[in-house]
Amino acid sequence: MEKELRPSSIRQALSLRRSTAARPIMYGSGGPIPGDEPVLYLNGCEEFTRMDTDGRLLHIGAGVTAAQLCKEKCVPELLHATAELCPREKRTAVSLGGALCVGNAPAVAALGALDARITVASETGQRTMKLRRFLRGNLSLARDELLCEILISNRKGGSYTCERCGDDMAFAGFVRWERRRITEFRLAFCGPKGELVRYEELERNLIGAVVKDAREMRDPLLEAYERYLPDWDAQRRTTLLVQAGSFLRENNI
């Protein structure tokens, strides 16, 4: 079996994925790959590098690079700022789908805060799921499936942050105020191995809150997250909570 497979379309890529179960790689120089496992290079498939909007959602191909995210005006500010965390010399070779698949902490946290959905496809069809479900269980990909696109709201505005905590942890937050009430609120933490944590029930409790009520909820909110976060490295776990507290205070919560 040929070790390096280079399809020119998604259709061909899905056929090769089904017949060979090759490991997909978005970008590669063609240099030696350790082991005998066949490799599916996807950077020749133009469909993976497209961004389109249907009016409500922005569809981001899994092969869209950090350089594209930094340049395109349709990209929400939080995702744009996260792409800029990528070293400039690597931006043309780092794709958003690839970053998710290797558990890149800022990418996982930012897309969590944007409430992203993930679409995977095979020759028999496609399915869309929440980001957290995709990240569980070996990326929730069957042997014949490929990650095709990331779906997020294309609505601009809102307040946001994305901060690293070491090389493998990050925090991202997003809040939108309208008429002095919170209409969107999400905090996302990424731990080692790309583990995404959101407390969605708690987030829903803040929707509709006015400034006074939101401020009164800040300390109980942080205490709840302290109990909810997994038992990660204690020092860096504390740093993530400090970052979250700063974001809340800066946004009148």
Q: What is the pLDDT of residue 33?
A: 57
Query: Which 3 state secondary structure label does DSSP give 68?
Result: helix
Domain with CATH 3.30.390.50 in the chain: 159-250
Q: Are 207 and 183 in contact (CB under 8 A)?
A: yes
pLDDT grade, residue 178 (50/70/90)?
very high
Separation of alpha carbons 250 and 116, rounded Å: 24
CATH code, 4-153: 3.30.465.10
- The pLDDT tens digits of the residues spanning 61-101 come to 999 999 999 999 899 999 999 999 999 999 998 999 999 98
Mean pLDDT for the chain? 91
What percent of the chain clears pLDDT 70, i.e. is strictly above it? Answer: 94
How far is the C-alpha of 218 from the C-alpha of 236, rounded, in Å?
A: 21
* Average pLDDT score over residue span 237-248: 96
pLDDT at 30 over 60: no
Task: Give span(s): CATH 3.30.465.10, the chain.
Answer: 4-153
**Per-residue pLDDT, 69:** 96
HSE toward the beta carbon, residue 81, CA cutoff 13 A: 18
Nearest alpha carbon to residue 20 among 35, 4, 33, 38 = 38
Using the predicted structure, report yes or no on whether residue 138 has a pLDDT greater than 80: no
Is the pLDDT confidence value at 204 over 70? Answer: yes
Q: DSSP secondary-structure letter at 65?
A: B
| Residue 35 pLDDT level (bands cut at 50, 70, 90) | low
Q: What are phi and psi of 76, to 5 degrees?
A: -55, 150
For residue 24, the model assigns a pLDDT of 87
The class of domain 159-250 in CATH terms is alpha beta
**33 three-state secondary structure:** coil
